Amino acid sequence: MCWWIRVYGLPLDKMTMSTARKIGECFGALDYVDGRQINGNLGEYFRVKVELTVTNPLLRVVLLPNGDDGPRACPIQYEKLNKFCFFCGVLGHEVELCPKDVPKDMALPDGS
Ligand SMILES: [Zn+2]
């Protein structure tokens, strides 16, 4: 399944195709990058389309190289992922309300 994600916290000079590819690798595959947003033309986040494997726990951050400062942890937001359960992959409920036995570290609310 391909999905748009937004990556926050990237410096403008890191909003590049090479970063997009690294983000894609964190997920498995990069599907698409909107070329207009290279170098931050679309604003505060970097938007890329990646191939998601819904049976894997979804990432909440990606670690991206940041020169001498070491990897930078960039928060991710998944677009249009309302009422989608990351755990069992079913639409209609969120992971917090999953009837299945969800591991605790997946049930943490955003912002924790
Ligand atoms: Zn569920």
Nearest to 27 by CA among 46, 10, 3, 8: 3
pLDDT, residue 82, reads 66
Binning pLDDT at 50, 70 and 90, where does residue 112 land? Answer: very low
Instruction: Spell out a b/e string for 41-55, using b for 16 or more CB atoms within 10 Å of the CB, else e.
Output: eeeebbbbbbebeee
Question: Above 80 in pLDDT, residue 73?
Answer: yes
| 101 CA → ligand 1 middle, Å | 9
SS3 at position 33: strand
pLDDT, residue 25, reads 87
56 or 22, which is more confident? 22
| 25 CA → ligand 1 middle, Å | 26
Q: What is the pLDDT of residues 32-59, one digit of tens each?
A: 887 776 655 666 888 899 988 766 667 8
Q: Which amino acid is at 107?
A: A
Q: What is the pLDDT of residues 90-110, one digit of tens each?
A: 767 778 888 888 777 765 555
| 58 CA → ligand 1 middle, Å | 13
